[in-house]
Chain A
């Protein structure tokens, strides 16, 4: 595939951010410490504009809901989100840190290997409780929609 120079740079940026996150999580000794850190960043996630806390922005999980909004500026996509679960907010905060501000192609192509590397997937993958996979899917769908020009991304 023929990537533009721009996209190659953003791809590197994504992997760079992922590497930073992996290094941060390396400092923790056990799952309990990782949980507390994810809660902490969840609590720090900026509040989502109430206008976006409606059903059209909602991703319904089995035990939590996520509201995800996307807008674009200069060819880059930006996400903001909220959840009724602080832990899920922490996960969103990580995803936003990696994907927000990136180009659509970079978002679509991101493999998000950090989720495995920080040991998050093993705690959530088997459970339908956590809508992480749906969140990632929705972020990528926004990017696909933006690319094809038929998006509801404003």
Chain B
């Protein structure tokens, strides 16, 4: 495949797209005999060889259960696992690795906050604020909590261009607000929300803020101390790591006051039938044997990201987004949903009179992987009055040629599907 990149990026920083693509074995696969064009990165990113090798090395070299084993293998595995906590801490610039809780993913991270912070601090009549562009995983845990506690869920409206209506947020927030939980980068629209500003406003009223950073980690540099967020949730698999890994960051001062999440091994200090005492943070929130290999794999993913030129990668993603947007805007009947300035490399669109599923299935026959439907953001789709979109989400390893294939194949899909 011809590899087309932004000449400016190549020139300025020596961003070597061909070399980067070689790091990701899946990218040289085929689908139905055609070169795979993987544009479903917002669902999950592909994994570099170093991550795949880390999993392989763990299982073939030092697989053991960790922390309470006295033997060589257990200690080796434990050290590798614990090292990832430090890597994550540095990656998001947390103050301490005590603030890093390993989870199964963003969804579990959010549920963990709902089950601990929510259980302790939310009561009848209290209000939780989310936004109109949340993923279901940042809606449903709060709905369940509100139902249980008699609390009320409030929603920041979304403007026509896909930005949050901050003026409305200022009016929503009040004396009853107990928590604000907002998405950093929209998985459906690509909108990058002004979370720092939202946090500042909330903190001026002493209200805690959770940031859903599932999409943000791969596209942006996240500094939790600079953001000053109280909680940050993200998934390993959306940032080159294995599935089944995730992180909840929480400020130590808050985590220390929270009750445990699930009960079981690892999270205890001592157990008797009269009284069980719990381990210190973060282990208090990590019951059971963790996903050791996958966490180590997530560490490798962070290692990969840390050594690459992320600024150049970001510039290349902007180039891909610009190319795709310009080409899509030229196709009659295509309407892009979400046009906020500075958005991430995600482009969601509808085609007048055509079903997104039909388009997605056609693109699939051409070896092009996109996602169709409501992208687990049904309320957002209702806001725009559409059942779903076709979403192409680009990552730094995608090429300008792949963008061209997407838009050319889309034209063919439209021709075929509108034929009477």
Contacts and interface: CB of A to CB of B under 8 A. Distances in A.
A88 B361 CA distance: 11
Kindly state the interface size class of chain A when it binds its partner.
10 to 19
Given A30-B32, A31-B32, A39-B417, A87 B365 contact: no
Contact of B362 (A30, A35, A64, A129): A35
Contact of B372 (A36, A39, A88, A129): A129
Per DSSP, chain A at the interface is helix
A87 B362 CA distance: 10
Nearest to B419: A43
Nearest to A42: B358
A64 B419 CA distance: 20
B387 interface: yes
A66 to B, nearest CB: 12
Contacts of A123: 361, 364
Interface in B209-262: none
A129 B366 contact: no
B420 interface: yes
Nearest to A124: B361
B355 A64 contact: yes
Contacts of A85: 355, 357-358
Contacts of A87: 355, 357-358, 361
B132 interface: no
Nearest to A33: B365
A36 B364 CA distance: 12
A43 B420 contact: yes
B151 interface: no
Interface of B: 32-33, 355-358, 361-362, 364-366, 372-374, 387-388, 416-417, 419-420
18 contacts: A30-B365, A31-B365, A32-B366, A35-B361, A39-B362, A39-B416, A39-B417, A43-B420, A62-B373, A63-B357, A63-B372, A63-B387, A84-B387, A85-B355, A85-B357, A87-B357, A123-B361, A130-B357
